[in-house]
């Protein structure tokens, strides 16, 4: 009797008797094979409790009625077993495992494992539900990526590539705790490699920034000593070096005053040739700004000197600061005690930072050299991070014998400047007798960042 090519269903031959028998056999086979579903696989003996229509996949080494029927579909119909030999491409659903199988011509294999390519999927969820925001979503406890070895046709290398479309975009890995960000690594907003951290997912601090052109890195949030927990500051020597304060003639201690003759734009004209007692242009220009005050106004008003074109003129950083200053008013170097109780001179060193490092920032400390000498009376020059009492670093002491004395000090910096992104320094001159201070000098030897 001839059969069909695919399902091996029997044909009804010409002039065949009892055609209904052949026809019914074919219907039984169709009923067994179409939408094929089996109770279990790898069954090696006929089940004891079996019902009409039950089907099983026979495993290797089967006995009894299943002997020699490895991989066959055993169908229980009309009180007996019928065996259907699978062909390549047959598929079945295993009810006890909720699994689809595919017959590859030799064995029944998991249909998912048999797949070789999944292309252009719009969503893929592994243990989770993917959505438009997360088209690839996985919920699992571990993942493994292993390199394909040369013996398997690979190179033995493994590289995971993450790509962004433009420099200003971000490609990163975000680490979270209970769906709140705690760390991020990658190219965030530029082509430098960044490491950022957050205590709450909202406030982020950059821990590391690696320049992709030079390979040099910075720690924008600073560093700490592993054992003590103390902050670590890097020392950068100044280039070029320069004075941030200098007075080259005999003078009184600060505060010192002069009288305004006129104000034009950003320039104050004095009635006397005393501009050098406020700002020594030849040494300080381009290195610092010095705070001065109009102490005739109520309340006292401040401005910042950036240059002195000659001995009777002071140029300030912002013309608006002195627009209301009038002739006859007193201008003072040295903060009023209502502002800084220790009568300190406030110095902004942002021009030096810009010249040294190409950027202005809040330095942690500065290394300075101070020089002074007293003319007949002792004189001191001290430096402070805030101008508050008890904060002055040991400065230079000159006993008044006309000899210059110097000192080197590390001065912390923690008072933000009101006119730049740097921290201020505060100087205080003290003498035992009026007009007996000779040369005063404060030079930058380096900055701690």
- Do residues 444 and 322 share a domain? yes
Dig out the tokens for 153 from the structure.
């046709």
Write down the H helix ranges in 301-437.
Answer: 350-357
Q: Are 86 and 75 in contact (CB under 8 A)?
A: no
* Distance from C-alpha of 49 to C-alpha of 66, rounded to nearest angstrom: 15
Q: End of a domain among 111, 135, 156?
A: 111
- Do residues 265 and 189 share a domain? no
pLDDT of 1: 53
- Do residues 199 and 260 share a domain? no
- Do residues 67 and 205 share a domain? no
Query: Which H helix or E strand runs over 381?
Result: strand 379-384
- Do residues 437 and 307 share a domain? yes
* Distance from C-alpha of 48 to C-alpha of 29, rounded to nearest angstrom: 22
Dig out the tokens for 359 from the structure.
């950027």
Residue 274, Cβ density class (10 Å: 0-12 exposed, 13-18 middle, ≥19 buried): buried
Number of structural domains, the chain? 3
- Which residues on adjacent β-strands are paired with residue 413? none
| Per-residue CA distances from 151 to 7, 117, 158, 160, 438 (Å) | 40, 22, 15, 21, 84
Q: Are 446 and 360 in contact (CB under 8 A)?
A: no
- Do residues 304 and 184 share a domain? no
pLDDT of 178: 97
pLDDT of 67: 96
Residue 2: count of CB within 10 angstroms of its CB: 7
Q: Is the peptide bond before 299 cis (omega within 30 degrees of 0)?
A: yes
Domain assignment present for 130: no
Q: End of a domain among 87, 111, 135?
A: 111
Q: End of a domain among 65, 96, 111?
A: 111
pLDDT of 32: 55
Residue 378 has φ and ψ, to the nearest 5°, of -70, 150
pTM higher than 0.85, yes or no?
no
Q: Are 101 and 41 in contact (CB under 8 A)?
A: yes
- Do residues 266 and 415 share a domain? yes
Which domain range does residue 215 map to? 170-221
Long-range pairs for 185-189 at CB < 8 Å and ≥24 separation?
186/162
- Do residues 182 and 247 share a domain? no
SS3 416: strand
Mean pLDDT per 10-residue interval, the chain, length 449 residues: 57 64 59 76 94 93 95 90 90 92 93 79 94 96 96 96 97 97 97 97 96 93 85 76 87 94 98 96 95 97 96 98 97 94 95 89 92 85 92 82 86 95 95 84 89
pLDDT of 42: 96
């Amino acid at each position: 009797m001839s059969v069909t090519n695919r399902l091996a269903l029997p044909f009804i031959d010409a002039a065949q008797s009892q055609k209904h028998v052949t026809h019914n056999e074919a219907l039984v086979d169709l009923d067994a094979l179409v939408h094929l579903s089996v109770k279990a696989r790898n069954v090696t003996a006929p089940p004891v409790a079996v019902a009409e229509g039950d089907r099983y996949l026979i495993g290797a080494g089967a006995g009894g009625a299943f002997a020699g029927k490895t991989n066959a579909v055993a169908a229980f119909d009309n009180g007996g077993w019928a065996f259907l030999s699978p062909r390549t491409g047959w598929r079945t659903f295993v009810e006890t495992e909720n699994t689809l199988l595919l017959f590859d011509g030799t064995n029944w294999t998991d249909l998912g494992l048999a797949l070789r390519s999944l292309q252009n999927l719009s969503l893929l969820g592994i243990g989770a539900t993917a959505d438009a925001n997360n088209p690839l979503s996985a919920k699992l406890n571990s993942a493994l990526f292993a390199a394909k070895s040369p013996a398997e046709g690979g190179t033995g290398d493994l590289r995971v590539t993450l790509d962004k479309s433009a420099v200003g975009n971000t490609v990163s890995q975000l680490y979270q705790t209970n769906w709140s960000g705690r760390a991020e690594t990658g190219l965030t907003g530029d082509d430098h490699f960044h490491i950022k951290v957050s205590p709450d997912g909202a406030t982020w601090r950059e821990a590391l920034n690696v320049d992709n052109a030079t390979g040099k890195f910075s720690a924008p949030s600073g560093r700490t000593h592993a054992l003590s927990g103390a902050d670590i500051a890097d020392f950068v020597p100044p280039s070029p070096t320069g004075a941030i304060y200098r007075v080259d003639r005999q003078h009184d201690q600060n505060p010192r005053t002069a009288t305004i003759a006129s104000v034009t734009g950003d320039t104050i004209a004095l009635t006397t040739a005393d501009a050098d007692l406020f700002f020594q242009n030849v040494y300080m220009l381009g290195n610092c700004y010095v705070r001065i005050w109009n102490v005739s106004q109520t309340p006292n008003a401040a401005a910042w000197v950036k240059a002195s074109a000659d001995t009777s003129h002071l140029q300030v950083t912002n013309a608006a600061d002195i627009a209301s200053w009038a002739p006859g008013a007193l201008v003072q170097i040295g903060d009023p005690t209502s502002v800084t109780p220790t009568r300190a001179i406030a110095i902004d060193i942002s021009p030096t930072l810009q010249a040294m490092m190409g950027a202005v920032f809040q330095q942690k400390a500065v290394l300075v050299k101070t020089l002074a000498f007293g003319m007949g009376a002792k004189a001191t020059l001290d430096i402070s991070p805030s101008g508050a009492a008890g904060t002055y670093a040991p400065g230079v002491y000159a006993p008044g014998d006309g000899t210059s004395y110097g000192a080197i000090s590390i001065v912390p910096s923690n008072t933000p400047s009101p006119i730049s992104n740097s921290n201020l320094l505060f100087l205080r001159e003290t003498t035992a007798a009026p007009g007996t201070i000779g040369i005063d000098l404060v030079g930058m030897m380096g900055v701690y960042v």
